[in-house]
Structure 1
């Protein structure tokens, strides 16, 4: 599928729930009102949308939330999505808290990759960042180690914040020990994230270079996302940077989003989208749905305006799909 600016759109992020067991302040603070499950797009409806999306050339899918494991049947849905004839890859983003109880079923699903959000390896600091005094960092770490033992491809996602810069080296050493690529993400000025100061990727890279002086760009592409990777002589893991704010890469964006409420959203930065759930409930045909999706994708905006301080999307990331 080619949009109005000539970009190939072949990647869909699917939020299956807005609920989460953590309250990270930059994502979904404790006062967030979450939807009841009956307001979600059903799994059957999601499969129908994904099947049509695959006909438009979208064959790589990322499952997100909220926390995906918070919704019952999530792994069965991932397996069904992976079994669609045109699906190329199905990957998952999770905070890792519920990995332990879902480990066997998840491994049996044979997902292509799992991204785990982790901003620190300090247990007390982890409780502070996540806003959950019951959150057990050790469960997350042990689940990561177990998945790596089983050969699962994993990436760690870390949000770049002022108070997490000191955590960088310990995360690099952990990633190095277990053969995990590590990605650092600039905070998006969307929802609760708009209240945080932007720490630019350039500042992070300078911090990393203090310990790894040979840090340099890695020339090969890794994964389906926008991350640009670095390598260094003294570490084997690759370090990714996703800096959509300070280094706009909208010209090569290949993604759209499907929210848990059933909205097809062509760009994270804008409110505009189409309510597929209402159309599905009204009995729209596959042919009509395909044309509406095609038109929505084709009209994907050229770029965000974060660098000009213009933010049109006011919902939190859990409502959009993190």
Structure 2
């Protein structure tokens, strides 16, 4: 099966319960039923960031493959990078079902999954088994369990566990579906976590992959600068802007009242404004930014890049459109770059905030 054919079949999944459809999609990927995009990427899309060479700046956000069961097949769809997770130290079943909702009229998704995943042991074994060289950059998103968590112990332990295998590690302190997790974005708590991570990275032997912090789009304006300062102070390498939102901006769907984090086009404007603010605060201070929230076209990706992101991530649009979305976004983005007369995608990073 080709990615295009897999996408043509996507509407058939709309009649299936969203979480069941997601599980079926992961199973199909594991068995190679989504095909692969073997066409070479346009050289104009290549970018170097976080010490890695990305063949294109389009990535898959965390949350799609929490337990790393289909990372290899996902990489073969044409992504420049895939972020697996969030993974927690111990397995957890997540929140009661139903917990995943399609907002078809808004092309959006609400989830309150609660970071259901198999835990770090099988996750690590699966990414260790990926053949080398990998066809895309691998990010690992780490988080804490709902029960029995000790953030100053758990985040460093998870980092140490995946450090030999990940190209970068993302620290999730912003999911709205684990009680108390977003409180870790507070100045004191975040500073303590990042200090512990920095100490662990300095201590371990072997690979020491870059560390990024994933933040919420719902941060108050006063809270943004302390997050950036903490990341810079403790030698973090970047920020992912942003996670899902608990606000409900202009939704039409009858599912809009469901609790959980909202992703998709309604999130785009607020996440891009936050990205610009973070980019201005972090400019020239060594932080790489990944833009996430509402991307479904080359124009959306271009907007995030111009707002200060070096890389971008998708989630909801991929869930709606399937594998054919990736080559389309890359074609559209390359066309926009050539329209504006730039030589490579890196030339337009932050163009709107200079």
Question: What interval of TM-score do these two structures reach, taking the shorter chain for normalisation?
Answer: 0.3 to 0.5
Q: TM-score, normalised by structure 2?
A: 0.43
TM-score (norm 1): 0.46
